[in-house]
């Protein structure tokens, strides 16, 4: 063979290999896989993995896997992959993400895929379990609530404070003082992720405020907002009963290590505390002694959504999987193990659950909560609250100015996205 012929042969070979590599079908049989993306904490992910393995026995040709993302990462990652025609078959997350996902048409309307009798078996009172948006059903819940509550360590606090004044008094108790002289309290009365807007909203309830009106317009520039922000600022800087810097991980670590006697946290965390053998109790976040109004955490279902790109056998199996994961037997098991409030009507008053004081307390807190609005505008309201609210703690804004700034930014973000 002459040199040109060798070069031509190599050229053909490289072109062939390159093009073959572009077509996955030519690389041999890839395993069939049903992937579930979730925002669940480790103890619940173990449970989900167990249930996927159990369900997987029905379809031995398929591999069933779960993958964890932080809530703020799952949403954009899912959007990108689903818009590209890929992504997981099933996603499990809170209902406030439904607005943007439905507007992008990356999640599947479910009303035609499940029979009415099945859908009617989910709770509608005191809060609706399944979530609709613009007339379509997008999420089947495996729990309701997902609300913040006051978790207290009974080794330090025998009775949870009922009012904010009680909380402040408790924070000034001996055990919360600086007894070792290192310049900071030996133990804080309570810690929570107070820099995040989601954790601020319950305190609006103390002043009868809310984040949007019935036309989904932001209502952030209110006295309720400025009072709520001022209260949290004062707890940290005037009364000094909560840490000055506290994100979620810090608050959680402090509670686990006994550096704070109480924490404001949601049901996703309670299972971890119980697993660690902590002697915990649940109670309502304290009320305003003057107005009598309770703090009102946001209540939202958590559940499963289907990828809009699913079709054929994968769609059928994914639907069956969601039916299995929301079934009474699976929900009863998870509710007992993690103190969750199930989404199926027949389980709400189930004796195995209702006799548990933690379950009763979780429902008691939920009853003074407010349902999460399922509108896209909520996304921009969260983002608009963050900068100005955090600015109060850096000294950039007063509480009143921060409330006005939040409103301004929320209106701007909504306007820019609706242009």
Where along the sequence are the contacts to other proteins (CB under 8 A)? 3-4, 7, 10-11, 14-15, 17-18, 72, 75-76, 79, 83, 100, 103-105, 183-184, 195, 243-245, 247, 249-250, 254, 259, 376, 379-380, 383, 386-388, 390-391, 393-394, 396, 413, 416-419
Nearer to other proteins, 320 or 400 (CB): 400
Nearest to 372 by CA among 227, 217, 201, 209: 201
Nearer to other proteins, 242 or 285 (CB): 242
Say how far apart CA 400 and CA 251 lie, in whole Å: 27
> The tokens 């699976």 sit on which residue?
330
Least Cβ distance, residue 103 to other proteins (angstroms):
6
Nearer to other proteins, 156 or 248 (CB): 248
Least Cβ distance, residue 208 to other proteins (angstroms):
27
Least Cβ distance, residue 227 to other proteins (angstroms):
20
For residue 27, the SS3 value is helix
> The tokens 């840490």 sit on which residue?
243
> The tokens 């019935």 sit on which residue?
214
Least Cβ distance, residue 100 to other proteins (angstroms):
6
Q: Which two tokens stand for residue 354?
A: 């209702």
The alpha helices in 190-259, defined as continuous H runs, are 201-204, 223-237, 248-256
Say how far apart CA 142 and CA 129 lie, in whole Å: 8
Report in angstroms the alpha-carbon separations of 156 from 165, 187, 250, 261, 399.
Answer: 18, 10, 19, 6, 32
Q: Which two tokens stand for residue 389?
A: 């609210």
Q: Are 189 and 254 a contacting pair, CB within 8 Å?
A: no
Least Cβ distance, residue 83 to other proteins (angstroms):
8
Least Cβ distance, residue 196 to other proteins (angstroms):
9
No. of helices (H) and no. of strands (E), the chain:
17, 12
Nearer to other proteins, 158 or 419 (CB): 419
Nearer to other proteins, 340 or 392 (CB): 392
Least Cβ distance, residue 396 to other proteins (angstroms):
6
Least Cβ distance, residue 256 to other proteins (angstroms):
13
Nearer to other proteins, 88 or 342 (CB): 88
Least Cβ distance, residue 160 to other proteins (angstroms):
24
Nearer to other proteins, 16 or 53 (CB): 16
Nearer to other proteins, 324 or 382 (CB): 382
Least Cβ distance, residue 386 to other proteins (angstroms):
7
Nearer to other proteins, 14 or 316 (CB): 14
Under DSSP, the state recorded for 30 is: P
CA 189 to chain centre: 25
Backbone dihedral region for residue 163 (phi beyond 0: left; psi -120 to 50: alpha; all else: beta): beta
337-341 contacts, C-beta under 8 A, 24 or more apart: 337/47, 337/271, 338/43, 338/44, 338/47, 338/267, 338/270, 338/271, 338/274, 339/267, 339/270, 339/271, 339/274, 339/282, 340/143, 340/145, 340/267, 341/143, 341/144, 341/145, 341/267, 341/366
User: In 14-119, which ranges are E strands?
Assistant: 32-38, 62-68, 90-94
Q: Which two tokens stand for residue 319?
A: 């639907």
Nearer to other proteins, 228 or 283 (CB): 228
């Amino acid at each position: 063979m002459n040199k040109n012929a060798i070069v031509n042969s190599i050229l053909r070979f490289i072109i062939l290999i390159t093009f073959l590599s572009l077509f996955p079908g030519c690389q041999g049989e890839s395993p069939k896989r049903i992937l579930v993306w979730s925002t669940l904490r480790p103890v619940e992910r173990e449970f989900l993995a167990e249930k996927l393995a159990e369900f997987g026995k029905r379809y031995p040709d398929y591999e069933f896997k779960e993958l964890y993302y932080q809530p703020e990462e799952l949403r954009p990652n899912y959007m990108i992959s689903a818009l590209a025609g890929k992504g997981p078959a099933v996603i499990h997350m809170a209902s406030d993400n439904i607005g943007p996902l439905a507007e992008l048409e990356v999640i599947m309307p479910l009303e035609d895929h499940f029979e009415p009798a099945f859908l009617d078996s989910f709770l509608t009172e005191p809060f609706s379990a399944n979530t609709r948006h613009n007339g379509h059903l997008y999420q089947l819940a495996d729990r309701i609530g997902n609300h913040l509550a006051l978790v207290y360590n009974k080794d330090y606090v025998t009775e949870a404070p009922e009012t904010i004044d009680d909380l402040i008094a408790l924070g000034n108790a001996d055990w919360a003082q600086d007894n070792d002289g290192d310049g900071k309290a030996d133990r804080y009365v309570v810690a929570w992720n107070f820099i995040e807007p989601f954790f601020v909203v319950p305190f609006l309830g103390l002043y009868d405020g809310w984040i949007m009106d019935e036309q989904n317009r932001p209502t952030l520039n209110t006295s309720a907002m400025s009072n709520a922000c001022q209260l949290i600022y004062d707890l940290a800087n005037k009364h000094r009963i909560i840490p000055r810097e506290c994100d979620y991980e810090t608050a959680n670590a402090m509670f686990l290590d006994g550096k704070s006697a109480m924490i404001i946290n949601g049901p996703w965390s309670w299972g971890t505390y119980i697993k660690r053998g902590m002697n915990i109790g649940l109670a309502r976040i304290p009320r305003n002694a003057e107005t009598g109004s309770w703090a009102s955490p946001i209540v939202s279902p958590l559940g499963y959504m289907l990828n809009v790109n699913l079709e054929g056998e994968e769609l059928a199996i994914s639907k069956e999987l969601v039916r299995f994961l929301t079934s009474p037997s699976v929900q009863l098991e998870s509710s007992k193990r993690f103190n969750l409030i199930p989404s199926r009507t027949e389980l709400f008053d189930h004796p195995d659950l209702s006799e548990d004081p933690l379950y009763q307390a979780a429902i008691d807190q939920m009853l003074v909560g407010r349902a999460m609005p399922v509108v896209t505008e909520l996304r921009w309201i969260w983002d608009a609250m963050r900068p100005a609210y955090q600015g109060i703690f850096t000294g950039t804004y007063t509480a009143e100015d921060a409330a006005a700034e939040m409103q301004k930014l929320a209106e701007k973000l909504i306007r820019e996205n609706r242009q």
